[in-house]
């Protein structure tokens, strides 16, 4: 690998057989993560309706029944001469899984549904696969095409741009693409990196996640604890569940993914879905304000601080939707409101009375001058008593001359 890539998904069975691209399975239970994220409460305020979420990835297989109605015509930047250049083809299956987490529609005989079930998915295909053959063919993930995908998504009107990929390369075009997308009104949400899919396993910056405009996502396990499978560091902003993920699988039905590991790719998709809910509820706000809502409302032990393992904490979509920003919240600084100035209270007189008369200042000044005069007299008397002592002490020490 070149240091660029998505997470690898380990498939687990949802019924009696292993997940297969050609065998349709439907889950009779809802995704466990939705309960952890209080999705039912969040859906009272927003479902993602009218919000376009771009999935810059391996494409999205719109044949999956959960996605047929939610996936718009996008683009294919990796194989532009393909018969279907809309991005609705996915050999890898990675982009399809990400899209399902975000906006899988409800279908009969299945309890699987996305966190933003009424959002629209815009597929932006920037790689085919991530194996050696794809590397040799030039169709594996690489920073330039990721940048082009972000640029295309922003120009197409996406309000949230999901990038479940990371690279150790601080690429100028990638940086510029993020800035331009933010200025166009889109929030870029990106993976903070996976230790299991990179040659550089150090806790170091990953891009585009590490750019200041981006919401960088790491993953936690089923207990809400950070995992060694994920890259940590100063670039991490927020966390989300990344294991035992029930989502869409190729053109078939449902599949439980990453049952044996933790994937920041899937955690990123949950945060993008939460961002879609926020964008629907607060369309007048900026991407920076959406970002603030998500990090400020995240669950953490200390409301005033972040850490390199989970950033500001685990995403809470329902709380992000209910948050009232007046600048006084603990944690990150609001982009819209300055922190209020706290006045220092003046202690009342000892007897508890409050003098509000116009002469209050005169009385205080008089009292101060009177006290000063008393102190001056006392110092003068004390000085007079001590004048002779140093001289007598000097004679006693010096002796007769």
CA–CA gap between residue 127 and residue 145 (Å, rounded): 8
Helix ranges, 39-189 (H)? 39-42, 94-103, 132-137, 143-155, 172-183
Shared domain check, 238 and 366: no
Active-site annotation holder among 70, 92, 166, 265? 265
The per-residue pLDDT for 340 is 87
Q: Which of 322, 342, 376 is the last residue of a domain?
A: 322
- 50: exposed, middle or buried (Cβ count in 10 Å: 0-12, 13-18, 19+): middle
- pTM value? 0.83
- Note if the bond before 208 is cis, omega within 30 degrees: yes
Q: Which of 322, 339, 371 is the last residue of a domain?
A: 322
Q: Which of 298, 322, 346 is the last residue of a domain?
A: 322
Active-site annotation holder among 94, 232, 235, 250? 94
144 in Cβ contact with 172 (< 8 Å): no
Backbone angles phi, psi at 11, to 5 degrees: -85, 140
Evaluate whether residue 351 is within a structural domain: no
Pairing of strands 215-220, 238-241: parallel
The per-residue pLDDT for 201 is 87
Evaluate whether residue 344 is within a structural domain: no
192 in Cβ contact with 233 (< 8 Å): yes
Residue 246: CATH number of its domain: 3.40.50.200
Shared domain check, 377 and 278: no
Question: Which DSSP string do the residues of 89-104 spell out, in sequence order?
Answer: --SSSHHHHHHHHHHP
Evaluate whether residue 316 is within a structural domain: yes
Shared domain check, 303 and 178: yes
Evaluate whether residue 327 is within a structural domain: no
38 in Cβ contact with 284 (< 8 Å): no
Shared domain check, 122 and 69: yes
Shared domain check, 239 and 317: yes
Shared domain check, 392 and 252: no
Along the 401 residues of the chain, how does pLDDT read in single tens digits?
A: 335 666 544 554 444 458 999 899 999 999 999 999 999 999 999 999 999 999 999 999 999 999 999 999 999 999 876 667 999 999 999 999 999 999 999 999 999 999 999 999 999 999 999 999 999 999 999 999 999 999 999 999 999 999 999 999 999 999 999 999 999 999 999 999 999 888 888 989 999 999 999 999 999 998 999 999 999 999 999 999 999 999 999 999 999 997 778 999 999 999 999 999 999 999 999 999 999 999 999 999 999 999 999 999 999 999 999 999 999 999 999 999 999 887 666 666 655 544 444 433 434 444 444 444 444 444 444 444 433 333 333 333 333 33
Shared domain check, 171 and 277: yes
Evaluate whether residue 220 is within a structural domain: yes
Give residue 159's Cα distance to chain centre: 15
Shared domain check, 180 and 132: yes
Helix ranges, 297-359 (H)? 317-322
Whether 57 sits among the annotated catalytic residues: the reply is yes
Domain count, the chain: 2
71 in Cβ contact with 88 (< 8 Å): yes
248 in Cβ contact with 64 (< 8 Å): yes
Shared domain check, 201 and 64: yes
Shared domain check, 384 and 255: no
CA-closest candidate to residue 59, choices 23, 83, 21, 86: 86
Full residue range of the structural domain in which residue 38 is found: 11-322
Shared domain check, 317 and 368: no
Shared domain check, 239 and 129: yes
Evaluate whether residue 342 is within a structural domain: no
């Amino acid at each position: 690998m070149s240091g660029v890539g998505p997470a690898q998904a380990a498939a687990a069975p949802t019924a009696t057989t292993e997940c297969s691209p050609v065998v349709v399975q439907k889950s009779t239970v809802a995704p466990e993560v939705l309960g952890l994220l209080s999705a039912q409460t969040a859906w009272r305020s927003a479902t993602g309706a009218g919000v376009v979420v771009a999935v810059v990835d391996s494409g999205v297989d719109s044949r999956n029944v959960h996605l047929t109605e939610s996936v718009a015509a996008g683009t294919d930047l990796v194989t532009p001469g393909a018969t279907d250049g809309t991005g609705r083809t996915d050999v890898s299956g990675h982009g399809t899984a990400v899209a399902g987490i975000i906006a899988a529609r409800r279908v009969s005989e299945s309890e699987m549904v996305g966190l933003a079930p009424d959002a629209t998915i815009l597929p932006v295909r920037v790689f085919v696969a991530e194996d050696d053959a794809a590397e040799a063919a030039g169709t594996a993930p690489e920073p330039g095409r990721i940048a082009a995908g972000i640029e295309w998504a922003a120009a197409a009107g996406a309000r949230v741009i999901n990038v479940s990929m990371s690279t150790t390369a601080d690429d100028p075009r990638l940086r510029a693409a993020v800035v331009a997308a933010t200025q166009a009104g889109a929030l870029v949400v990106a993976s903070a990196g996976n230790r299991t899919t990179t040659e550089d396993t150090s806790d170091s910056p990953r891009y585009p996640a590490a750019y200041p405009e981006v919401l960088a996502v790491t993953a936690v396990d089923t207990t809400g604890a950070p995992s060694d499978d994920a890259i940590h560091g100063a670039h991490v902003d927020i966390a989300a569940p990344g294991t035992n993920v029930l989502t869409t699988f190729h053109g078939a039905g449902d599949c439980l993914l990453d049952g044996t590991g933790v994937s920041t790719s899937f955690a990123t998709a949950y945060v993008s879905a939460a961002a879609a809910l926020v964008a629907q509820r607060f369309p007048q706000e900026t991407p920076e304000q959406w970002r603030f809502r998500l990090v400020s409302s995240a669950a953490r032990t200390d409301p005033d601080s972040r850490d390199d393992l989970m950033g500001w904490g685990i995403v809470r979509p329902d709380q992000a939707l209910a948050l009232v920003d007046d600048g006084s919240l603990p944690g990150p600084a609001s982009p819209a409101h300055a922190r209020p100035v706290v006045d220092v209270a003046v202690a009342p007189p000892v007897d508890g009375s409050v003098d509000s008369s116009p002469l209050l200042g005169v009385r205080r000044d008089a009292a101060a001058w009177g006290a000063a005069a008393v102190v001056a007299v006392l110092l003068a008397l004390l000085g007079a008593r001590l004048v002779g002592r140093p001289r007598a002490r000097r004679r006693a020490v010096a002796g007769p001359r």
